[in-house]
């Protein structure tokens, strides 16, 4: 199984290599792909050294699967070229998520809709993945009517430049800004750019991707996304209004029996999910699970995950694993 990792030198590309190794993905040959300026750079993977190749050279190497995390512009240009060469692309950018002809996949929820004809498969936004991984099984039983989401998102979601800005600010160095404001000791209520409706692109991703993945466009979704000076992962406070009455003990049981979910909810001992504990973990952590006393049929949850893992690299590789296991490549 030849696997190309496109954007291998970036934060998510680096995590992809770690997850491929940790999960014993059946890689017979790794093809590390990046920009022209990174050509020839040496990459270590599973005890071997590989040289980074260009996007065109990646196609020529004829991998079965290409894991893309090189940004939307690169994906728009190159994913179709890889697909035309018979390579199945799993793309981590926003380029294809809302394309009506492309599947948007969280394996635990909707991988069953994939076929051999899907040559470009979209990986959802990080904040969408962790939220839906936790609430989709509750939706199956109680039917979600409305979601009110507040996110507290790690700087790693922006990339290397943001990590450097935080490090420089903490060390008293004049920083090259990834954000319009200082991020150290601050919270910035803007993730991505603002759209015409006053919401940011990040907030609208939560709306649009939720509808597409759950295949239900009647769910009311509203979100506020905030960038925080955290490295370990994204956190979300989610208020869920159901169509049906729910039993709180049943909610706990459903979550505890959902693959990929870890319930951390022991308030007597101050146990709840925190991003510092989610770093480098593939699971989604859920806690502060409680009935909303102000609104019938409504639940509050706190959801945390490493955005570079389940929010990006892990979910991408889980999609690839599903393709391999089900002989779709």
pLDDT, tens digit (0-9, with 9 covering 90-100), for 68-110: 999 999 999 999 999 999 999 999 999 999 999 999 999 999 9
Read off the DSSP letter of residue 176. P
| SS3 category, 123 | coil
Q: Give the E-state strand segments of the chain in sequence order.
A: 2-6, 29-33, 42-45, 48-51, 65-68, 88-91, 103-104, 120-122, 144-153, 220-227, 234-242, 261-263, 284-291, 298-305
How does DSSP classify residue 312? I
Alpha-carbon distance of 232 to 202, in angstroms, equals 19
Question: 293 pLDDT exceeds 90?
Answer: yes
pLDDT at residue 142, rounded to an integer: 98
All CATH 3.40.50.720 domain ranges of the chain, comma separated, are 2-124+312-325
Q: Please calculate the CA angle 295-108-284 and round it to the nearest 5 degrees.
A: 60
Residue 175: the pLDDT is: 86
Q: Where in the chain is the domain with CATH 3.30.360.10?
A: 127-307
What is the predicted pLDDT for the residue at 91?
Answer: 98
Domain at 2-124+312-325, CATH class:
alpha beta
- Report the mean per-residue pLDDT for the chain: 97
**Rounded average pLDDT over 27-53:** 95
> Catalytic residues, which ones?
126, 234
Under the banding of pLDDT at 50, 70 and 90, the label for residue 232 is confident
Specify which residues 269 forms β-bridges with.
Answer: none
The yes or no reply on domain 127-307 and CATH 3.30.360.10 is yes
């Amino acid at each position: 199984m030849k696997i190309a990792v496109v954007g291998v030198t970036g934060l998510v590309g680096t995590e992809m290599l770690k997850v491929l190794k940790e999960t014993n993905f059946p890689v017979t040959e790794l093809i590390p792909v990046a920009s022209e300026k990174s050509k020839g750079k040496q990459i270590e993977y599973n005890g071997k050294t590989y040289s980074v190749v260009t996007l065109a050279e990646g196609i020529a190497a004829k991998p079965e699967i290409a894991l893309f995390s090189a940004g939307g512009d690169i994906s728009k240009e190159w994913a179709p070229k890889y697909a035309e060469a018979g390579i199945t692309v799993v793309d981590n950018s926003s380029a294809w998520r809302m394309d009506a002809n492309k599947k948007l996949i969280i394996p635990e929820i909707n991988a069953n809709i994939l076929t051999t004809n899907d040559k470009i498969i979209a990986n959802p936004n990080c904040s969408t993945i962790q939220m839906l991984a936790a609430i989709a099984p509750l939706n199956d039983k109680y039917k979600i009517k409305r979601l009110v989401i507040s996110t507290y998102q790690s700087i790693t979601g922006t990339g290397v430049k943001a990590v450097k800005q935080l490090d420089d600010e903490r060390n008293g160095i004049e920083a090259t800004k990834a954000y319009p404001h200082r991020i150290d000791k601050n919270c910035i209520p803007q993730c991505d750019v603002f759209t015409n409706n006053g919401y940011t692109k990040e907030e609208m991703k939560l709306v649009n991707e939720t509808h597409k993945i759950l295949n239900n466009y009647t769910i009311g979704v509203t979100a506020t996304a905030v960038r925080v000076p955290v490295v370990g992962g994204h956190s979300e406070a989610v208020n869920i209004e159901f169509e049906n009455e729910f039993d709180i003990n049943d909610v706990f049981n459903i979550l505890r029996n959902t693959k990929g979910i870890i319930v951390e909810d022991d308030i007597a001992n101050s146990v709840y999910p925190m991003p510092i504990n989610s770093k480098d973990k593939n699971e989604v952590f859920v806690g502060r699970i409680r009935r909303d006393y102000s609104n019938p049929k409504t639940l509050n949850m706190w959801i945390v995950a490493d955005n570079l893992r389940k929010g990006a690299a892990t979910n991408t590789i889980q999609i690839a694993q599903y393709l391999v296991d089900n002989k779709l490549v």
